[in-house]
Structure 1
Amino acid sequence: MGTTTPSHLPVMYAQVLDGLRIRPDGRYLDGTFGRGGHARGVLERLGDGGRLLLMDKDPEAIAVAQAGFGADARVSLYRGSFADLGVWDETTAGLDGVLFDLGVSSPQLDEARRGFSFGKDGPLDMRMDPDSGESAAEWLARAGEAEIADVLWTYGEERMSRRIARAIVARRAEAPLVRTAELADLVAGIVGRRDTGIHPATRSFQAIRIHVNRELADLEDGLAAAHARLKPGGRLVVISFHSLEDRIVKQFINARAKAPPGNRRMPVAEAFAPTLRDIGGARRADAGEIAANPRARSAVLRVAERLEVAA
């Protein structure tokens, strides 16, 4: 924890690989390939008998995976959400480790045409899979004012959610919002330029992105699918960058690792049989890594181990 992590490595790189506890002959799934930083680290530790399964919603990420890893006989690729990992035949043999690195990737933010960034004008899209579902522009063009406000508040904790939603509905009556700069300017005009160093549209963009991509629903489904596919002793490793994500992960692990509190007013409950063991609780990047990679500041890593369940 005391060493500096180079900025070119993924967030909490060493801790992720330690958490997975990689065996040379193990079978591991990276549900969020991104640009392959963690995948490369896993492959370096696998022997000829090991397997690495790579998933991503983003076709550009899968193209990078194919170019960089497709020729490796130990690697299999699947384009899709990690929520669907259980339907992939490659997972039916069981997994020794599953990794989810949540949120939007740096390449997605850097490409203006993907529509994730309020700092770079581009089409108002925000879809991690641009071939599936509604874009942000399409959703904002049809959603009701109350629905928009609810999304901004629930997923972005934006205190001015109602005012922003009202302004969006009024604006689209004149002309649809189709560019990221248009939405960013509209939100900034309501929220104001706060002296915090954080762009006033940050919370709104985050909320709309989470909603458009069903990120929290996919996380819940993906955790359940990973739990079902992990072998006894297998590790679940999740990096979150948002409190709502981390809360879901924490509650998922706790519900399977800790017996619920007793209630003397209720009938005696069935004996609790844990199926996960929490490994170390919440972990955060150290000062050295944050200095090299500011994105690590909000990262929370959680690790759990699948337990043998008596028949």
Structure 2
Amino acid sequence: MKKVILTTVALISALLSYADSKEDYRRFTDTIRAEVYAMELPAFNVKEIPDKYRNESAVIKAIYEDVDAKKKTGFGRMSGTLRFSRKAQVQGSHLTRMLIHVNDKAALEKYSEFDFSTDKKTRNWDGYAKNRRAMGVRLIKPDGRTVDIDTSEFIEVEEGKKGEKKSRKLAIPGLETGDDIDVFFYTESKLQNVHPDPMVFTLRDEAPIMNYRIHCVVDDNLTTQYRTLNGAPDFTVSRDEDKNYVLDLEMTDIPKEPRLWYNSDQQSPMVKIHIFNRRNS
């Protein structure tokens, strides 16, 4: 009897924790959603698609990547001791937003469900990486109506031998051919004595892309290295009023990937960016 009671208590605690997690996710996502959908991005207001794309299964009207990285200084315990020292911290965010036009049943099936990563925190001997993620989806109907999708109704998925690979799946109810899907994925990161993961932006997809824009704002106290490959345009580099480096890139009217004899890594235009948590001339 005692074992049954303990098991029941543990189950209730787990369910309450899961409920709190979903509520925290809802509050966080609501805040980010309001900010993202208030952005002034003309490419996301395009209603029509060119005649040459009328017979495409799907058309990506716009992709917008926004990267922000700031250098901070914090304190952390030295490994194996009770002493504390100054630690290099990077706080940043990465937004990917897409506007996808669904033209036929094949595209309807493909975009009727999205996968996105869960929040994650990892540690090493002298630092940590903490990521908090949000997702937002809204449908834009042919008559102009906007339908918001509740992204807290996701399903937790565990893969791998021990369930170590965790993700979330979200179905998109009410999606119909002729709709536009305005979807974003947002990651907020806090890193201590850890470099941000390298970023790779591939400026081509299985569907044609009408507009692809990348905007990065990076602290002067961080080091940014990037390479443009396979014919990708170069960044326009400037400085803002806070002396941050601002990198902007835009590419338009990008054809879809060919189906045969095509190697995306070697032929698609792409940009690789590394940001390091210290200044280096």
TM-score category of the 2 structures, normalised to the smaller one: under 0.3
TM-score normalised by structure 1 residue count: 0.25
Higher helix share: 1
TM-score normalised by structure 2 residue count: 0.26
